[in-house]
Amino acid sequence: MEYTTLGRTDVSVSRVGLGLWNVSGDVNWDRVEEDDAVETIQAAVDAGITFLDTAEAYGDGYSESVLGAALETLNRDDVVVATKAHQSNLAYDDLKAACEASLDRLGVDTIDVYYLHYPNPDVPVSETARALRELREEGKIRVPAVSNHGVRDLNDVLEEVRVEANQLPYNLLWRAIEYEVKDACVENDVDAVCYSALAQGLLTGRFDSPDDVPAGRARTRHFSSEREHARHGEAGAEAETFAAIEEFEALCEEFDVPMVEAAIAWPLHREGVGSVLVGATSPEQARANAAAAERSLPPEFVERAADITAELKEALGPNPDPWQSESRYR
């Protein structure tokens, strides 16, 4: 496993982290039973993954509680615990209360990395920042951070409080942050922490066509707005998406690189990316994900993979929001 320090801090995180959205059960995923999830978290840590990521919104606190159960079996000093405050909780009093609730579910005294899950334009940034500063001074959080923040929102937050990471959707099939947001992170020494590295399973090679993708996962802007759970009004880019997947699979075969490892490793070879979060529902998956951190991709592979997905990047455009045409990123 490789490690890096987050932003301008001395907080060391594994370059492949464990995302715990998928254990919570929602339209995208089946809920993972607590014992199975705890075993998966333990396996991830045993494989060198120290960056464990959740949110109060995942399963209405279930994901945080599961991580809390796992932490009882681990050495707390060996892991970096990250969670996110819902955008409805960014007012001063609400954020202070949300943090206390997350601390309780996690069973910890301090949250290492505390993200604002999405911006909330109805709450003054100064009010949210005041709560973050106080939580840090009280020792309840170590590192303030943001998630799903565009250039304007990131800059607005940085004017009020230093944040060290911006958690963003980024993978070979979803490269919208390359238009503006990633550059803004680099300019401000804010690490991009990337989620959906496997594009919710599309980059595993398990789906041969758009029709094979479960309805809950076929709601991003890759897919037609006629899909059952779509929240956008676009035609989608299904042909371009699956043509890119087929070409990427062939590229992996040419270089004799496992497709999953290559998909996880590719963002780690891009400027400004500190860590990549990947979900797992079994110890075997956790160990396989961890192996990607040690996968060094040749420069030719990295560039050819980018070329393969360039047409799809252009088709989807600069809106970083994977699910909505009316972007929540500003």
Residues assigned a catalytic role: 58
Angle at 20 between CA 18 and CA 23, to 5 degrees: 130
- β-pairing, 165-169 with 3-5? unpaired
Tell me the two tokens of residue 199.
């594009």
- Between CA 20 and CA 84 the distance in angstroms is 12
Tell me the H-state helices in 61-207.
Answer: 62-71, 92-106, 125-137, 151-158, 181-187
- Cβ proximity of 255 and 171 under 8 Å: no
- Cβ proximity of 153 and 330 under 8 Å: yes
Determine whether 241 is exposed, middle or buried from the number of CB atoms within 10 Å of its CB (0-12, 13-18, 19+).
Answer: buried
Q: What is the DSSP letter of 299?
A: H
- Between CA 56 and CA 189 the distance in angstroms is 27
- Between CA 32 and CA 196 the distance in angstroms is 18
Tell me the two tokens of residue 163.
């944040």
Q: What is the DSSP letter of 174?
A: B
Tell me the two tokens of residue 312.
């799809």
